[in-house]
Chains A and B, each alone.
Chain A
Amino acid sequence: MNGNLIELDYIDLVISSGLIIVAGLISILLGLKIGKRLLLVSIRTVLQLGLVGLILKQVFAMAHPLPVAGLLFIMTIFAAREAVARTKRRYKGIYLDGWLAMTLSCLVVGGVVTQGVVGVQPWFSPRYVIPLLGMILGNSLTGVALGLDRFLQSLDANREQIELLVVFGASRSEALRDLRAEAVRTGLIPIMNSMAAAGIVSLPGMMTGQILAGSPPLQAVAYQIVVMFMIAAADAVGAMIAVMKASTRVMDSQAKLV
């Protein structure tokens, strides 16, 4: 980023792995029996991030929109899988809906941020587009997962009340209005908590990263504000799309529960 950046080499990484060994020793001393799992997830972290680093290096080098789009497409598929995996109740087509919610929120919010706010040049510049959209995906994943889970669970818990509205002639949107609102609200709780605590309880990850990479603190703050608003919008858009799609799956257009 600039001349202040202290580069990490392989020796630094080996030293940092000593920290994991400390955690492993604690596990052995206290009989936590998580030593093996700790070792496995550490290896997984190194392999996954190493792989991502290699892929990003290639994509950055190619400087073409197609590899960027391809990588983002794969990321949306994994994000959708992860979001749906966190819901307890499923329905047919839930993966497709999760993917759609993720992709649309990513495109809408990511489009506004990269093209409108940051003004990335060229428009697909992987150095900006991939991390920003990755952050949008990672966070709208939370919104989608929480929103969907809440919606489907309250649907089961409130079936009688929904039918009560239906027998008096409620349309689908009338019958599910309160449930939808509650579900989207639930999807937004984590980001609202983060926004309220930002800078006071913790320094958000991206800002910390930028400061470490040598950015002036005020620039890092500006980026972090954009990121916070972007995440809130992505959460809201993702949760809303997922819940709207789910409501058309669980109740037909004639307001009959399926």
Chain B
Amino acid sequence: MNKEFFFCGPARIPVGDRLVLEAEVTLGPGELVVLTGQSGSGKTSLLKAIAAISSAWCEKRIVLGRDMSSGSLPVWRSRVVLLAQDAPMLRDTLEHNLSFPFHLKNTGKKVFEKEKAESLLRKMGISASLQQDAGSLSGGERHRAALVRGILFDPPVLLADEPFSGSDPENKAACFNVLREHVKRGDRAVLVVLHDRELLEKADRILMIRENRLVAV
């Protein structure tokens, strides 16, 4: 495994009142890794710590072989993107929701491709048009649209917190395949929180939080 592609740790994350989860996460290029564990075990907290949006975060941070431990957190976040569990949307059209990350200062020269967006939406079972209000999407569609946003933005590392919530098995499988295609390019990695047994088996690796420790399964 290439430790230099992505490393984040050690992170000390409070779980519940007292217990602390100590974790280090390493991802190799092209890897699709599943994070699992009981509800309340700290999966979301770990992803938030990696994305540096909570009070706990990793002391050492490496992405694409670059040590960014002392660098700006917004720049880190533009490379290691978290797709949050509740799949929030801006109060605007679906197009604006998919394209806004491309207009941020840290994004650089990436360009939003409308056709690619439309094709990904169809692939993930979303029939809504880009001009539609994002608020009109169903729960499952909203989660899948958030996943489309992440894949279109195409950061080196995607952290996805239960991205298939509210989707039927058929759509879950389709979305998983899109994630698989995404990492196939080799210089991308995905860490995804999942509970579905059949999808767990298709992952490259499984990490599990057990008794406040992150272990390989």
Chain A: residues with CB nearer than 8 A to chain B?
A: 160-161, 163-171, 174, 254-257
Contacts and interface: CB of A to CB of B under 8 A. Distances in A.
Given A168-B78, A168-B153, A169-B107, 14 more contacts: A160-B84, A161-B89, A163-B84, A164-B84, A167-B82, A167-B84, A168-B77, A168-B100, A168-B104, A169-B78, A169-B79, A171-B104, A174-B105, A254-B72
B106 interface: yes
B106 to A, nearest CB: 4
B75 interface: yes
Contacts of B14: none
Interface in B104-120: 104-107
Interface string B57-100: 00000000000000011111111011110101111000000001
Given A254-B52, A256-B52, A169 B74 contact: yes
A58 to B, nearest CB: 53
B172 to A, nearest CB: 23
Contacts of B78: 168-169
Question: Which of B74, B75, B100 has the most A CB atoms < 10 Å from its CB?
Answer: B74
Contacts of B86: 160
A208 to B, nearest CB: 44
Contact of B106 (A163, A164, A169): A169
Contacts of A168: 77-78, 81, 100-101, 104, 107, 153
A166 B106 contact: no
B53 interface: yes
A169 to B, nearest CB: 3
B104 A169 contact: yes
A169 B76 CA distance: 7
A155 to B, nearest CB: 15
A55 to B, nearest CB: 49
A257 B48 CA distance: 13
Contacts of B51: 167
A160 B73 contact: no
B153 A255 contact: no
Contacts of A170: 74, 104, 106
A96 B100 CA distance: 35
A257 to B, nearest CB: 8
Tell which of A161, A166, A168 has the most Cβ of chain B within 10 Å.
A168
A254 B81 contact: no
Among all A-B residue pairs, the 3 with the closest Cβ atoms:
A169-B78, A160-B88, A168-B101
16 contacts: A161-B90, A163-B84, A163-B88, A165-B100, A167-B53, A167-B82, A168-B77, A168-B78, A168-B100, A168-B153, A169-B104, A169-B106, A170-B74, A171-B74, A171-B106, A255-B74
A163 B86 CA distance: 11
Contacts of B107: 168-169
A161 B73 contact: no
Given A168-B104, A256-B53, A161 B88 contact: yes
A165 B153 CA distance: 13
Nearest to A167: B82
B53 A166 contact: yes
B111 to A, nearest CB: 15
A167 B73 contact: no
Nearest to B82: A167
A171 B74 CA distance: 6
Given A168-B101, A174-B105, A255 B90 contact: no
A86 B90 CA distance: 29
A164 B90 contact: yes
A254 B78 CA distance: 12
Contacts of B52: 254, 256
Contacts of A254: 52, 72-74
Contact of B88 (A164, A171, A256, A257): A164
Nearest to B146: A164
Interface in B154-188: none
B104 A165 contact: yes
B108 to A, nearest CB: 10
